[in-house]
Chains A and B, each alone.
Chain A
Amino acid sequence: EVQLVESGGGLVQPGRSLKLSCVASGFTFSNYGMNWIRQAPGKGLEWVAYISSGSSYIYYAETVKGRFTISRDNAKNTLYLQMTSLRSEDTALYYCARAARDVMDAWGQGASVTVSS
């Protein structure tokens, strides 16, 4: 069974940093690209970042470019999102999702990030 489990969320002050992790199991992690998508409270889905299977290709939403860094460790089956210079508008539930060809076909349960003083 494909599983994605996010962790590392929490309450953080504006301007500070936080690092999310997503541990994958049930499939060959190193064969798949991965995404981060977020959902602000009561709002819709916003794609945040993508990393290819071998980390050769990385893309970001303009809203996080220069502040967030997506990375992965295929030996540990783990995806990361390093978030710096956090703002109140970054408050959201952050999902990791597997990129299978042209879809996001498996999603984690999400990690909650609250940016507030």
Chain B
Amino acid sequence: EAQVTQNPRYLITVTGKKLTVTCSQNMNHEYMSWYRQDPGLGLRQIYYSMNVEVTDKGDVPEGYKVSRKEKRNFPLILESPSPNQTSLYFCASSARGYGYTFGSGTRLTVV
């Protein structure tokens, strides 16, 4: 089944403790992207990647890092999480022109 898999689905962590949210797609898509969804603010892009080793900042990149060492994987790294990064995170992938396929989401709480 074609899908984008994110892990974990739920995560509660403490301020300053580094964490990684994994994202993997099995559709051989070139494009991958991370979004966060917050009430009243909608979906905002954090980082995106156009192919292996090609990444760029989205609208709200501060406090996040990404890497794209393999085509299928696009992890999101929070080096020092803070409470304002409490949010619902979505990974997505796309082939050009086809629209994005989204993962099921990761609900992160930073206390």
* Binding between chains A and B: no
- Interface positions of B (Cβ within 8 A of A): none
